[in-house]
Amino acid sequence: MVDALRRAHRTVAPDGIVVDLHPDASPPVVEIGSRPTGHVDVEDGAHRHAAADATIATVVRDGLFAIERVVEFAFHTHADTIDELRDYIEENWRNARLDDLTVSRTREAAREMPGERPRAREHVILTVMRPRRQPVV
């Protein structure tokens, strides 16, 4: 991953920027309305996202980039039913699944809140990096 940012450093114009978007290391929350009902189990998610943080820290420490701005936001994936959400996540997210308890809790909450759709909420970090002309030695 450090190599990817080194390539980005070569490719970006001196007055350009490199932007990274990735979820933080916390497990995505399953919720309906504003009520949390469980988490998405992402097998290597915490490790993967922590590694992305470490990669950025490395290239900043090496003087390739300076962090110009960090923005955080919630990214929601909505479905009509919890079964639909589970199937979508298991088919489209890497090494991710919803456990049976989360599914049953969400079904129960859905019965109590007709009209509310289940969703998965990820906390995403956007980092804007400005290339340094010469790496800091």
Partner 1 sequence: MAISEDPEGHEIRALASAVSFAGRRVLEIGCGDGRLTARYAPDAADVIAIDSDAEAVAALAAERMPNVVARVLGIEQLDAAPHSADVVLFAWSL
Residues forming the site for partner 1 (CB under 8 A): 1, 3-5, 7-8, 10-23, 52, 55-56, 69, 71-80, 84-85, 88, 124, 126, 128
- Within 10 angstroms of residue 118's Cβ, the number of other Cβ atoms is 27
**CA–CA separation, 78 and 28 (whole Å):** 13
Q: How far is the CB of 99 from partner 1 (least distance, A)?
A: 20
Q: How far is the CB of 4 from partner 1 (least distance, A)?
A: 5
Q: How far is the CB of 127 from partner 1 (least distance, A)?
A: 9
CA angle 78, 25, 53 (to 5 degrees): 120
**CA–CA separation, 48 and 44 (whole Å):** 6
